[in-house]
Chain A
Amino acid sequence: MPGKGDVLYGSLGLMVMKTLEALGPLHGYRIARRIEQISGDHLALNQGTLYPALLKLEQAGWISSNWTDSETGRRVKVYALTRAGRKQLRAEETAWQHATGVVARFFKIQQDPS
């Protein structure tokens, strides 16, 4: 298990998109809190690094943003997954599973004494 360390930049984008898919449109602070919850303290995330990642995702066309008023009356920028983003998520998941599947096979071979 990787210890508390810096999260890979690319994976951060993936986690953001997965969060938006699961919880629907969210604003920056809520996304950061959710990622902290899910990763269960195994990651030391500087919340600020979220914002450049959000920018990259938006530039790639995978998320879109909108300024609205939150329930508390505060003005917040809410992010949502786009259709292209959804497709990208599917592709990444498939690639991830493919990669881990191949690696898992190697572990199985090692464990097999013959």
Chain B
Amino acid sequence: MDRELSQEIQSHLAEATEEYVRRGLPPSEARLTALRQFGGVTQVEEAYREHRTFRPLEDLGRDLRYGLRALWRSRGFSSVVVVVLSLGIGGITTVFTLLNRIVFQPLPFRDADRIVVLTHSAPGVNLDNVGLSSGLYFHYREHAGSFTALGAYSRAASTFRPEGASAERVKIVYTSSSVFEILGVAPALGRTFTIHDGAPGFLNTTWAVPVLLSHDFWVSHFAGDAGVLGRNITIGNNPREVIGVMPSGFGFPDADTQIWILNEPPEATARFARVFGLDAIGRLRPGVTPEQARSELQTILPAIIGRYPDATAARVAEVQLRPTVLRLKTAVLADIGHVLWTVFGGMALLLAIAWTNAAALFAVRADERQREISVRQALGAPRSRIVRLLVIEAAILTTTAAALGLVLARGLLLAVIAFAPQALPRADEIRLGGPEVAFAGLLGVVLACFYGMRGTRPQHDGTVSHLAGGRRLTATRDTWLGVDPVIALQIALALTLMIGSALMVKTYRNLLQRDLGFSADRLLTVQVSIPGSKARQHAQIYEALVASIRQLPGVESAAAASFLPLTPGEDRYPVTAGAAPVPFKFFVPGYFQTMATPIVEGEPFGPTARVTTASPVLVSAALARRLYPTESAIGKTVRRLNADGSIVEMGPRGPVPPFVIVGIVGDVRETSPRDNPTEIVYIPVIEPAVEPSIVPTNMTVVVRTRVPPMSLAASVKESAMRVDPSISIGGVETMDAIVGSARAKEAFVGLLLMLAAIVSVLLGTIGVYGSVAQLVKRRTPEIGIRLTLGARRTAVVQMVVAGALRAVLVGAAVGSVAAVTSTGALRSMLFGVEPNDPTVFLTVGALLVAAAAVAAFAAAARAARVDLVVALRAD
């Protein structure tokens, strides 16, 4: 810039010199004259520089200072606007953060978009959403060109035995080396698996199979010591070598996976369709879509015929395998996108209400400033300057509101993560970062421009009447067909939000009241495992453990089962060929009594039960109804079958004998409160073993307590140690917590929408109060005249309230229509209530109208107190 000026000045001087030369002066004198005519060059340059630097900044600084002063003078207005807007911005920013971090951002893996999940449905054997069999895994790996890599893994639980401390149950994942290749995440320490690590073979138990630790596990059990690399640790009963630690925040397939153990499926004993027990992920070749991969898998399926003993043409035709290829992100997100967008919609409504509310406040202020603005315009300020001043003033308020909104969002997010972790996948990735701050900032800017520019539009008459001190005797108000649009809009928005939230709250209550089939009150649960070496004595160990716990003070009853209701991870097997498999639950006698689940018929299998029937089992009433609809199921038999419908064999010992049903258990919803009662087989853990081919080495102990459940956690653990030190303890939680997390999603949505609805009702009613109060203020002269002319005060009040109520009712009508159309979006989340439930609509509508009416009356009551003299004199 300075250079340009110098060029200009030099050019100027050169031209002037030329002219003097033309006029006859000698060149040197010509130059001197030109310089003299010009004046001091350095002075000019300085003056230029001064103006150049300071002007724009100086203006901005002045406007800012002026704005701050003006806003400080109207502290009431400023604080209310900031609070209102920060509520609106905070709410929507919270949900935007969730959307951005969970739905928009790619998964934290290399090229995460190309990672897919493989599953199958096999309608021929009534299986849905299962993984791969070992045979399929090898077949696909060899022949499916759509993938550059395929990996298999399976979840399990085992025991970690640290030196000098008691055994602990840990969540492990057996995984092929290709899984880590596909995920492409670099370890925090050491290295991940390579294919060569499996060279000695997995049927060979003499070597230490390599394992990887999760970051949390490494910190909590090895104090973050890097020396853990290369060390052997004992998992299960086998030594494992630690070759790496994964970075913080990495959790595959679950956030709480603690140890990964290398394990390749055995090729020698692979089968086509006996057990579909492997979960699989793959990396798509560039340019291949999941759909293309899926159809390739379907096409190459028949080629598996003959490769495995059970891969006959007949069997392939019978099973009717249908592969599914889903992007990993789609599988992880499930329906959370829909849930989050719904809540986002709710928060958008809240923002709209806050926006309108603040706009009304700004309008009132603009009214009061009209005189000042007219004076400025008369003094020559261009419209752009005035707009800039107003926008800067509004911006001070909106950016403060945006900052407060971010603080609010942070608090809300912390609460959401703490109280509803099960509702949200990728919860560990949630944080307020650049995009979220930019979102809030953008809202602030848009709002500032909106309010600033609206402030310059003359609200009623032009500027002239203000300067002339004109008095308007009959106030005109911007109305649409006689109805105040600000009130109507706010009521409509608030009603829509309230109805949505009421539906979710009702859903949550319905789920809360749902009979699950057991009582979760004061129930402590403790996961335990016994080592494989003690499998033969498992019945005695569990009996002894439960008996020992029953002796503890404060214990009402105790028992154990292989899994609890509403917890995942049950194993399912078919009991009838061609029907869907049912869960099998192992239980220690006394389980149903501890859970307070009634026995409908037959043997209750209490703690002191002595059953003489061979292979006794219990079945749920639901299963009994299906298997034996017309007669009692007691005394009938039921068998566990393989996936292919064949009877389970135990090698040389022959087939497993059929079970005899000795009792029918009251219905329990084992899977989810929304589901029907579960068809399930209950196998008592007694001697001789009823189901000898499965040993439940992992069980969960349940204890009904007279005191707060968690207070007995320590003594229960101690009992386990005393009974058998090789028992390892896993997670401890109350049944209440487990049941709570089954409702986590509904709780999450219901809570957020309810918060938004409460704020919207507050804003809406305060908005009505404010609008009516403002109306009274503006029409004070008119009211004064009416009173003077003999109108009764009550009539004046009625007139004011009637106007407001008209707007409220119109708003309620519009809001109801909007709710009818938009609550359809909630349908998939609702339970026990329809999206257009008339009771909800009417109750909520009546509540809102009543609240608005009270506010209008309160404001209008002030109208009745208008002092005649003041009214007539008001200007």
Q: Is the CB of A29 within 8 A of B15?
A: yes
Interface residues of A in 63-91 (CB under 8 A from B): 67, 74-77, 91
B15 closest partner in A (C-beta): A29
A7 within 8 Å of B by Cβ? no
Q: Which residues of chain A come closer than 8 Å to B380, judged between CB atoms?
A: 91
Asked if B111 is at the interface (CB within 8 A of a chain A CB), the reply is no
A27, A48, A59, A76 — most chain B CB neighbours (10 Å): A48
Q: What chain A residues lie within 8 Å of B419 (beta carbons)?
A: none
Interface residues on B, range: 20 to 34
Question: Is A13 located at the chain interface by the 8 A CB criterion?
Answer: no
| Contact indicator B56/A49 (Cβ below 8 Å) | no
Interface string of A87-102 (1 = CB under 8 A from B): 0000100000000000
Do B48 and A28 touch across chains, with their CB atoms under 8 A apart? no
Interface string of A47-60 (1 = CB under 8 A from B): 11101100110010
Contact residues in A for B43 (Cβ distance below 8 Å): 48
For the complex, give the distance between the alpha carbons of A56 and B39 in Å: 19
The answer to whether A114 has its CB under 8 Å from any CB of chain B is no
Whether A52 and B16, one on each chain, are in contact in the complex, defined by CB atoms closer than 8 angstroms, is no
Is A46 an interface residue, CB under 8 A from the partner? yes
> Which chain A positions have C-beta within 8 A of B795?
none
B4 proximal to A (CB < 8 A): yes
Q: Give B13 Cβ to nearest chain A Cβ, in Å.
A: 9
Which residues in chain B, 1-20, are within 8 Å of chain A measured between CB atoms? 4-5, 7-9, 11-12, 14-16
| Chain B residues in 8 Å Cβ range of A76 | 8, 11
Q: Given the interface contacts A51-B44, A52-B44, A52-B48, does A28 sit within 8 Å of B39 by beta carbon?
A: no
Q: How far is the CB of A63 from chain B (nearest CB, A)?
A: 14
Q: Is the CB of B39 within 8 A of A29?
A: no
- A52→B43 CA distance, assembly (Å): 10
For B481, list chain A residues within 8 Å (CB). none
A55 to B11, CA, bound (A): 17
- The verdict on B737 contacting chain A, using a C-beta distance below 8 Å, is no
* Contact between A75 and B48, CB atoms less than 8 A apart: no
- Best-buried of B12, B41, B44, B48 by chain A (most CB within 10 Å): B12
Contact B15 A47 (CB under 8 A): no
Contacts known (A29-B11, A29-B15, A74-B15); A49 close to B44, Cβ less than 8 A: yes
A52-B48, A75-B7 are contacts. A47–B55 as well, Cβ < 8 Å? no
A interface: dominant SS: helix
Chain B residues near A74 (CB-CB < 8 A)? 11, 14-15
B8's partner among A46, A49, A77, A91 (CB-CB below 8 A) is A77
Interface centre among A55, A77, A91 (most CB of B within 10 A): A55
Of B8, B37, B56, which contacts A51 at CB under 8 A? B8
Nearest B residue (CB) for A52: B47
Contact of B38 among A47, A52, A56 (CB under 8 A): A47
Give Cα A52 to B55, complex, Å.
12
In the bound complex, CA of A48 to CA of B34 (Å): 11
Alpha-carbon distance A91/B382, docked complex (angstroms): 11
What's the Cα separation between A63 and B365 when bound, in Å? 36
**In the assembled complex, B52 has its CB within 8 A of some CB on chain A:** yes
What CA separation (Å) do A47 and B11 show in the bound complex? 13
Per-position contact with B for A25-55: 1 when CB-CB < 8 Å, else 0?
A: 0011100100000000000001111011001
From A67, which residue of chain B is reached at the shortest CB distance? B4
Query: Within the assembled complex, what's the spacing in Å between the Cα atoms of A67 and B3?
Result: 13
Question: Nearest chain-B residue to A84 (Cβ)?
Answer: B382
Separation of A48 and B51 alpha carbons in the complex (Å): 15
Q: Per a CB cutoff under 8 Å, which of B7, B14, B15, B40 touches A48?
A: B40
C-alpha spacing A77/B52, complex, angstroms: 17
Bound-complex Cα distance A24 to B735 (A): 88
Whether the Cβ atoms of A47 and B52 lie closer than 8 Å is: no
Given that A52-B44, A55-B48, A74-B15 are contacting pairs, would A46 and B38 also be in contact in the complex, using a CB cutoff of 8 Å?
yes
Which B residues lie within 8 Å of A46 (CB)? Answer: 37-40
In the assembly, what is the distance between CA of A73 and CA of B324, in Å? Answer: 75
- Interface centre among B16, B48, B50, B56, by most chain A C-beta atoms within 10 angstroms, is B48
Give the nearest-CB partner of B56 in chain A. A59
Cβ distance A79 to chain B, nearest Cβ, rounded Å: 11
The distance from the CB of A67 to the nearest CB of chain B, in whole angstroms, is: 8
- Do the beta carbons of A47 and B12 come within 8 Å of each other? yes
Q: How far is the CB of B387 from chain A (nearest CB, A)?
A: 14
Contacts of A47 in B (CB 8 A): 12, 16, 37-39
Complex interface: chain B residues within 8 A of A27 (CB) = 11
For the complex, what is the distance from the CA of A53 to the CA of B107, rounded to whole Å? 59
Measured in the bound complex, the distance between the Cα atoms of B5 and A67 in whole Å is: 12
User: For residue B41, which residues in chain A have a CB less than 8 angstroms away from its CB?
Assistant: 48
The residues of B that contact A91 with a CB separation of less than 8 Å are 380
Q: How far is the CB of A53 from chain B (nearest CB, A)?
A: 9
**Which residues of the other chain, A, contact B14 by a CB distance below 8 angstroms?**
74
Given contacts A29-B12, A56-B51, A59-B55, are A77 and B38 in contact (CB under 8 A)? no
- Report B-chain residues with C-beta under 8 Å of the C-beta of A52: 44, 47-48, 50-51
- B56 near A48 with CB under 8 A, answer no
> In the complex, A32 Cα to B44 Cα: how many Å?
14
User: What separation, in Å, do the CA atoms of A59 and B48 have in the docked complex?
Assistant: 12
Output the least CB separation between A95 and chain B (Å): 8
Interface string of B278-305 (1 = CB under 8 A from A): 0000000000000000000000000000
Do B11 and A75 touch (CB < 8 A)?
yes
Please give the distance in Å from A14's CB to the nearest CB on chain B.
14
| Distance in Å: Cβ of B44 to nearest Cβ of chain A | 4
B39 proximity list for chain A (CB < 8 A): 46-49
Q: How far is the CB of A77 from chain B (nearest CB, A)?
A: 5
Provided the pairs A55-B48, A91-B380 are in contact, do residues A28 and B8 lie with their beta carbons within 8 angstroms? yes
In Å, the complex CA distance between A41 and B43 comes to 23
Alpha-carbon separation in the docked complex, A24 to B415 (Å): 68
Shortest CB distance B9–A (Å): 7
Q: Which of B438-469 contact A (CB under 8 A)?
A: none
Q: What A residues does B9 contact at CB under 8 A? A: 48, 51
On chain B, the residues within 8 Å of A59 by CB distance are 51, 55-56
Cα A67 to Cα B11 in complex, Å, equals 12
* Additional A-B contacts beyond A47-B12, A51-B48, A59-B51 (12; CB < 8 A): A32-B12, A47-B37, A47-B39, A48-B9, A48-B39, A48-B44, A49-B39, A49-B47, A52-B51, A56-B55, A74-B14, A91-B380
Show 9 residue pairs from A and B whose CB-CB distance is below 8 angstroms, ordered by the A residue: A47-B12, A48-B38, A48-B43, A49-B47, A51-B8, A51-B44, A52-B44, A67-B4, A74-B15
User: Which are the 3 A-B pairs with shortest beta-carbon distances?
Assistant: A46-B39, A48-B44, A48-B39
